[in-house]
């Protein structure tokens, strides 16, 4: 039962392989009557685009989205919004070395086991290229809930972390190619990424998202809790290994008397270790969470691997890949968060009479 749709009321379905004619998707359930700013959608896509800075992959892809339906005279009409992004980079020749071999810690082997057939060009469907469609969906989702504010940034690269206690100026996120709002950390992170790349290696990191001005009441217990859907959304992004919100893993070491968020008379809380969600429902405080990204599996070093006959072969990454996926993952994390929030915003319209 294929899993290429996300959401229930605001629902994104995507298609497309790395080296097919085009990738694209359908957004079904966008409410009618919204003046859509399509340039903003392209701007979000540009944040995910290869070649945007010196520390990301230098592949040439313009990633221009074309909308095919669902918008009339600038407004959403309530009918499905179809869109495509043409693939400019469709040469198959470069991928002959992986046609019959399994790249370590990639999805080549598991796709072959599951489906018995695999579009090996550039990873096919398992390529992170599909996340461009998520960014389109998320950019439309944001316009359904314009009052909600999203700030997403790189919170660590390798062992370089922003200090959790530090007050951050979130307006600085786009001031550096790492997308880190702390300039001192950003500089260190960028230096680390450059060093790692010079080794032909890759490095992991974490992305943090802060969501402000969230209406109270979003989330659908007991299974579709707000943070459970956020977690699923994040874990569905390529290379993600973990998710935590509010106090997260650190909270496991705390006592209840330290961890409980006491109320102010207006219903806000003095602390916010809950991360803006109680019982799976937003309480109006900031939602914040962290997403763990492993190092990119494609490295520019020789690795031992096997081919589809089980024979050992040697392999080395070709082409232009990211030494660290985190800076380009920032807009993807934000897009998925927006998809979740817009969907719950619409779902909540039916929760009471």
Alpha helices in 87-175 (DSSP H): 96-99, 108-115, 131-144
Measured CA angle at 235 (ends 252, 171), to 5 deg: 85
Name which position in 126, 151, 185, 208 contacts its own copies (CB under 8 A): 126
CA pair distance 311, 318, nearest whole angstrom: 21
210 has binding-site annotation = no
8 has binding-site annotation = no
Helix (H, G, I), strand (E, B), or coil: what is residue 184? Answer: helix
Name which position in 166, 194, 241, 318 contacts its own copies (CB under 8 A): 241
49 has binding-site annotation = no
Give the interface segment with its own copies, choosing from 38-46, 57-65, 69-77, 327-335 (CB under 8 A).
69-77
Name which position in 63, 182, 190, 220 contacts its own copies (CB under 8 A): 220
Are 245 and 277 in contact by the 8 Å Cβ rule? The answer is: yes
Name which position in 64, 72, 163, 194 contacts its own copies (CB under 8 A): 72
Subset of 170-199 contacting its own copies (CB under 8 A): 196, 199
The DSSP annotation for 144-160 comes to: HSTTSEEEEEEEEETTE
- By CB under 8 A, residue 206 contacts its own copies: yes
- By CB under 8 A, residue 205 contacts its own copies: yes
Q: Peptide bond preceding 222: is omega within 30 degrees of 0, i.e. cis?
A: yes
- By CB under 8 A, residue 95 contacts its own copies: no
Subset of 32-61 contacting its own copies (CB under 8 A): 32-34
**Minimum CB distance to its own copies, residue 292 (Å):** 5
Name which position in 44, 63, 261, 334 contacts its own copies (CB under 8 A): 261
Give CA separation, 264 vs 110, 267, 269, in Å: 51, 6, 5
**Minimum CB distance to its own copies, residue 171 (Å):** 25
**Minimum CB distance to its own copies, residue 240 (Å):** 8
Q: Provide the terminal-to-terminal Cα distance of the chain, rounded to the nearest Å.
A: 35
Burial class (CB in 10 A: 0-12, 13-18, 19+), 224: middle
Could you tell me which residues are annotated as the binding site for NADP(+)?
48
């Amino acid at each position: 039962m294929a899993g290429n749709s996300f959401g229930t009321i605001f629902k994104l379905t995507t298609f497309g392989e790395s080296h097919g004619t085009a990738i694209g998707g359908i957004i079904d359930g966008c409410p009618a009557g919204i003046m859509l700013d399509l340039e903003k959608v392209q701007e979000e896509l540009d944040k995910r685009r290869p070649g945007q800075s010196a520390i990301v992959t230098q592949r040439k892809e313009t990633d221009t989205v074309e909308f095919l339906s669902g918008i009339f005279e600038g407004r959403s009409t309530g009918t499905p919004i179809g869109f495509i992004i043409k693939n400019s980079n469709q040469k198959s020749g470069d991928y002959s070395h992986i046609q019959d071999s399994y790249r370590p810690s990639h999805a080549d082997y598991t796709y072959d086991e599951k489906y018995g057939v695999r579009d090996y060009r550039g990873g096919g469907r398992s390529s992170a290229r599909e996340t461009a469609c998520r960014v389109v969906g998320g950019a439309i989702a944001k316009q359904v809930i314009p009052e909600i504010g999203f700030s997403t940034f790189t919170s660590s690269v390798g062992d370089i972390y922003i200090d959790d206690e530090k007050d951050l100026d979130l307006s600085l996120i786009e001031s550096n190619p790492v997308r880190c709002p702390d300039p001192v950390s950003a500089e260190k992170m960028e230096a680390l990424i450059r060093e790692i790349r010079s080794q032909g290696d890759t490095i992991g990191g974490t992305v943090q998202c802060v969501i402000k001005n969230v209406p109270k009441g979003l989330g659908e217990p007991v299974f579709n809790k707000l943070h459970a859907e956020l977690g699923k959304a994040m874990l569905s992004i390529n290379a993600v290994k973990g998710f935590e919100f509010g106090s997260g893993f650190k909270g496991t070491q705390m006592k209840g008397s330290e961890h409980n968020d006491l109320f102010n008379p207006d219903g806000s809380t003095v602390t916010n270790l809950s991360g803006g969600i109680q019982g799976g429902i937003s309480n109006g405080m900031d939602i914040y969470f962290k997403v763990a990204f492993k190092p990119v599996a494609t490295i520019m070093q020789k690795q031992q691997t096997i081919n589809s006959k089980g024979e050992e072969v040697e392999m080395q990454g070709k082409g232009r890949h990211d030494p660290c996926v985190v800076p380009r993952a920032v807009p993807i994390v934000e897009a998925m968060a927006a998809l979740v929030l817009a969907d719950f915003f619409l779902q909540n319209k039916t929760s009471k009479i």
